[in-house]
Amino acid sequence: GPLTAGNQFSRARVYIASGMVAVQLGVSADEGLARLRAYTYAQGRSITEVAADIDIVAKHLSLRGFRDDRRDG
C-alpha cells in the first residue's frame, strides 16, 4: 500500500518489538522477528497489534515461554 505516516510508525514499532523479543530470547534480530511472526500467527493476531502490546506494556509481554515447534523441536 501507499507509504503513510501510520505505516511508517507501525513498521518502526514492529522493528523495535522484534528487537525486544530478540533480547528477551537471546537470539539474533532476524530470529526475533521470526519468533514475533510465529507468535502472532499462533495467537491469530496482527503483527502490528502484538508489537504495539510489546511496546506499550514495555516488557510485560514476554515470548520467553512461547514454544515455536517449527524451531524448537
Grid cell 511508517 — which residue? Answer: 8
Nearest to 21 by CA among 41, 38, 42: 38
C-alpha distances out from residue 68 to 10, 17, 31, 63, Å = 24, 17, 11, 10
2/55: higher pLDDT = 55
Per-residue model confidence (pLDDT) at position 3: 53
pLDDT digits (tens, 9 = 90+) for 7-62: 777 888 899 999 989 988 999 999 999 999 999 999 999 999 999 888 766 555 66
| SS3 call for 61 | coil
